[in-house]
C-alpha cells in the first residue's frame, strides 16, 4: 500500500475514473492522492506569436477545469502545473515525495515508437513505483 499517489489526468480524456479507482485500491489508510494535470504551453518559437495573456487565460481555464473535476472526488487534491508531461510528472512525484504514480496509457501508435509515450517516459524515469493502466485505441 502507498502513502502518496500521483494520478496524472489529461482533461480531454475520460481515463481518470479507472486510474483513480486503481489509486484508491492501492492507497493505504490515511494516505493522499494528488490528481495532477500538466498544462503544456507552446514552445518558444510558437509562444513568440501568442500573447502572454492568452497563455495565462488557457492555464487558468485548465486549472479551473481540474479543480472542478476533482471537487467530486473525496480525499483527492488537485494540482495543475506547467511543463512537459513526462518530465513534469516525474519532477512532481519527486518533489512531493510520492511513492506511486498511477497513469493511463493508450495503445502506442507510430509516433509513440519514434518519440516515446508519456507513460514510457514516466516508467523509465520515475523515482517510485508506477502502475500503468492500458486503454484500447
At 115 the pLDDT is 44
pTM of structure: 0.86
Burial (CB < 10 A; 0-12, 13-18, 19+), residue 98, is: buried
At 114 the pLDDT is 45
Q: What is the mean pLDDT of each run of 10 residues along the chain (137 residues)?
A: 95 80 96 95 66 86 94 93 94 98 76 63 94 77
The CATH class that applies to domain 2-135 reads: alpha beta
Max distance between CA atoms of the chain, in angstroms, equals 49
Domain-wise residue ranges, the chain = 2-135
Amino acid at each position: 500500500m502507498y502513502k502518496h499517489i500521483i494520478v496524472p489526468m489529461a482533461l480531454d480524456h475520460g481515463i481518470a475514473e479507472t486510474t483513480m479507482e486503481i489509486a484508491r485500491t492501492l492507497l493505504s489508510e490515511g494516505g493522499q492522492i494528488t490528481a495532477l494535470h500538466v498544462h503544456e504551453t507552446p514552445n518558444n518559437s510558437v509562444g513568440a506569436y501568442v500573447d502572454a495573456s492568452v497563455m495565462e487565460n488557457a492555464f487558468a481555464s485548465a486549472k479551473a477545469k481540474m479543480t472542478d473535476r476533482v471537487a467530486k472526488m473525496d480525499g483527492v487534491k488537485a494540482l495543475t502545473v506547467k511543463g512537459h508531461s513526462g518530465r513534469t510528472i516525474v519532477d512532481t512525484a519527486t518533489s512531493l515525495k510520492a511513492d506511486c504514480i498511477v497513469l493511463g496509457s493508450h495503445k502506442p501508435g507510430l509516433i509513440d515508437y519514434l518519440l516515446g509515450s508519456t507513460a514510457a517516459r514516466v516508467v523509465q524515469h520515475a523515482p517510485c513505483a508506477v502502475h500503468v493502466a492500458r486503454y484500447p485505441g
